[in-house]
Amino acid sequence: MSNGTAKDQIVLLGLNHRTAPVEIREKLSFAGRDFDPVSLFLELPLVREAFFLSTCNRVEILFVTREPEAAVEGVKEVWARANDLPVSSFEPHLYQFRNREAVKHLFRVASGLDSLVLGEPQILGQLKEAYRRAAERRATGVILNRLLHKTFSVAKRIRSETGIGSHAVSVSYAAVELAKKIFGDLREKSAMLIGAGEMAELAAQHLLAQGVEKLIVANRTLSRAIELAERFRGEAISLEELEDYLLKVDIVISSTGAPHYILTAEQVKRLMRPRKMRPIFFIDIAVPRDIEPAVNEIENVFLYDIDDLKAVVEENLAYRRKEAARAERIIEEEALKFEAWLEQLEVYPTIVALRQKAEAIRRKELEKTLSHLRGKVDEETIEALETLTKSLVNKLLHDPIIYLKNRYHRDGQQVVDFTRKIFNLDGEAPLESLPPEIHLPDEAEEKTKH
């Protein structure tokens, strides 16, 4: 980076489920709009790279700029204008992170540490999709490309090195995990869902993911049962057929809105003889309850209700919180590594300029020499001189470049400015014209100091 040029900075502006209600988030999400918000923000001259993430729980813009204060104000104005809102309507809900803190926040989001459900994995897929869209529009450059790829690898590392994603923390998932504890393996097992609402749908997804062979959906409204059964390649029945089908299944998850018991202890007791006492597992996640509690007293019948599941979920959440502390250490470590890379990026233009100047001098001096030797030496000698001069330049530059990279972490822009001055990379006055009172330490002094 040339002398006096501002450094690239990473800025993240956003709001999420903790800082803003859904009616604010949805107004800033650009959902259903026929243009890409990344392109909109890139129209700002101060925004060099940009990435926009919108999910049901968060809306965030990540961008690179050299003038963060002015760029933040510009981004807020564009965001407000594009959604016909005053900045004041959402500004109190915004959070802002810069540089290392922005990097850490992104790593936390990708790893599920900032999610409504701690450790949930869906956000990583949403981040990848948002990055794909931004990359297609060439909205990301050297810095954000590196940052997003690093984000994905950090999330993968956290998943593999911690238990942040293990142990069920949703009621539906906990229900299926309990079924696994009873039966061990759910493959070749059959399951019934009583009710066809959202909880039943989630349970169906988890059951099929665990290899359940057959799924039956029972519902008061048969059309809704058919709709859900078709989605999961199952079979739909009416509530009147319940007892007949209970003879065939191993797992029952009930989540209706009925005001009374759908299954009584007497009904289940009658079923056990024709079932030949084969175990059956009931999970009642309805409020009020669908299954009479006395069912649990019948031999080979296991019944869990919503309170049992919530206790499991809370225990599992406590485990995830403990694992989150380990994840935070990984994030801190990786953020420091990325910061070091970003700092070195600031040095690269100076290294390139140094190499270019050295190469220009080498070519000029070699050309001068060769002009006196034309016709006196063969092509092989010319090639040897070319190789020799290149090798000399590379060896002479090696130590200054290593010094520049290493000292930048300690002295920052000061060492870049000094390098540019000492090698006159910006076309300033040559070294010999410096006033005599400016003292440059010789090599012996440098060794003594370091």
Average pLDDT rounded to a whole number, residues 341-354: 82
Average pLDDT of every residue of the chain: 87
Question: Residue 444 pLDDT > 70, yes or no?
Answer: no
Query: What secondary structure does DSSP assign to 299-346, as a single string?
Result: TTEEEEEHHHHHHHHHHHHHHHHHHHHHHHHHHHHHHHHHHHHHHHHH
Q: What's the rounded Cα separation, in Å, for the pair 283 and 301?
A: 11
pLDDT digits (tens, 9 = 90+) for 180-238: 888 888 988 999 999 988 878 888 888 888 899 999 999 999 999 999 999 999 999 99
Rounded (to 5) percent helix, strand, coil in the chain: 55, 15, 30
Question: Which listed residue (46, 56, 370, 401) is catalytic?
Answer: 56
pLDDT, position 363: 92
Whether 105 is catalytic is: no
Looking at residues 365-377, what average pLDDT do you find? 86
Q: 214 φ, ψ to 5°?
A: -135, 140
CATH dotted code for 171-309: 3.40.50.720
**Six-digit token string for 334:** 């990786």
Could you tell me the residue ranges of all domains in the chain? Answer: 9-161, 171-309, 345-449
**Which CATH number is correct for 9-161, 3.40.920.10, 2.40.50.140, 3.30.460.30, 3.40.50.12780?**
3.30.460.30
